[in-house]
Structure 1
């Protein structure tokens, strides 16, 4: 299934979107919001699936053209947003550029932070930032949405609790990060609201490209209409989504609608480019002794999308422009 949330109040209005992302139909009579659907997944999944098949078979009345700009993120807000860093070679590269040794535990125990989840950015909404000096960066990622996961669930047990997948732009303010991490208490101001793809999909939509709790497709990033990176998400993922969800559940019960992110998609083979500016800048520092690529400026545009083997968009595109948030006088 492909599900989306039209902008409507704080939690949106649930719709089903056709596999080719051209048409949609309301699902609000089955579940008014995606969170409501997740809270009653066992009761509504079959009904949603039936309507989704009718939509694709052109047997639904009252369909309408799907417009990603009319959508909020699939979960406009969530009870929990936990973002990992599953592509450990990316972490190793960033640390190498500043001559910091990476602890061996990073390869066996996932890094993770808890981001703000009380209001996400829509997939076509602007990224509003007060100052360019903050070091504005995009981070192209994949995320899973879970149902309730019992505390202490193993990776094998956690795999069955992954209900939906999305793309993510985990916006980072790079120049605010060093001082925050220097305090030894993690990210806060340096991690503003994230954006998610127009639709969330059930893993079966990926067919054989969803295996081992990993998405096996390239993730494509364009910056100002130029290809920036196209690394394969199924390559070099040190911790798969089942392992990440299990990590979240180690000491707590995980509630319906929890979002777990993969971290920036990154390949050891750099020929396919990067999914964030920081990685490219680190490669430049290693090669040239200094970063040559600037962070995003007001007016810059980033587009994040994933395509199937036939070249069709799977999740729709996150397509955003950086704008200045009005500064109070």
Structure 2
């Protein structure tokens, strides 16, 4: 299933189920209103949401409505933590506050995309296999850094169960293409192969992880020269280059505030 958090004036948004083709959505009201509640009681709530997703995909829900990514917050705006595992295995732990994919960014900073892994509770020293068993959802996130400091984190609108990824998900590895548009011009796509189970195992090497703490697999910084007024669109797509896996992160870079 595919999930998103619609902005409703609250800090966490309202959970919606999104159709496979990203055209329709339906509120999860009556089952679960926040993504964190789902993570806290996955075994009971997830099957109900899965049933809702099946009905939505078959056009059987009277109150479905057109899905609008621009109305989405990050899937989990207030995560309990955010740890990104770099290519060399180092773990960088950050605050887990995520902006929605369309929230403008004022500061110009380096762009560091990551595959976002959302798991249930995971014991310390769990191996990659146990971590994959605890994996619930995947998404796309981007960290922005200036002079080594985290400026902001954005997340694409969708949190997706691995079974929805089709051929892009093979034996616990996401194989996809990172596509970027800078001011509307397409940059050279980057093939990525990310193993969230291994990253989660690295994060819990010394400490347990609780549902709502997120781990990221770093996909490598993008070498892009940004200027005020620029736009940037980031998307992880299936191998065919056509199907967005998690929805896009669309950013506009504002000029600095007047002195």
TM-score scaled by length of structure 2: 0.93
How many residue pairs get matched? Answer: 257
- How far is the alpha carbon of 1:309 from its aligned partner? 4.5
Unmatched runs of 5 consecutive residues or more in structure 1: 87-105, 178-189, 266-274, 278-292
The 5-angstrom pairing of residues 127-146 of structure 1 reads: 127-129=105-107, 132=108, 136-146=109-119
Say which of 177, 189, 192 aligns to 1:218. 177
Question: Residues 57-93 of structure 1, C-alpha deviation per residue, up to 9 Å, x if partnerless?
Answer: 000121111111110010111001101113xxxxxxx
State whether residues 177 and 239 of structure 2, in contact with CA within 8 Å, keep that contact through their aligned partners in structure 1: no
Q: Identify the structure with the greater helix proportion.
A: 1
Q: Is 1:317 aligned to residue 248 of structure 2?
A: yes
Q: Which runs of 4+ in 1 moved over 2 A?
A: 306-310, 324-327
Partner of 1:84: 85
SS in 1 for 2:31: coil
- Supply the RMSD in Å over aligned alpha carbons: 1.6
Partner of 1:124: 102
Q: Is 1:5 aligned to residue 5 of structure 2?
A: yes
Question: Residues 169-209 of structure 1, C-alpha deviation per residue, up to 9 Å, x if partnerless?
Answer: 21122xx12xxxxxxxxxxxx11221111111000011232
Q: Is 1:166 aligned to residue 139 of structure 2?
A: yes
Say which of 181, 184, 206 aligns to 1:251. 206
Unmatched runs of 5 consecutive residues or more in structure 2: none
Rg larger in structure? 1
- How far is the alpha carbon of 1:324 from its aligned partner? 3.6
Distance 2:36 2:132 in 1: 20
TM-score scaled by length of structure 1: 0.74
Distance 2:170 2:63 in 1: 35
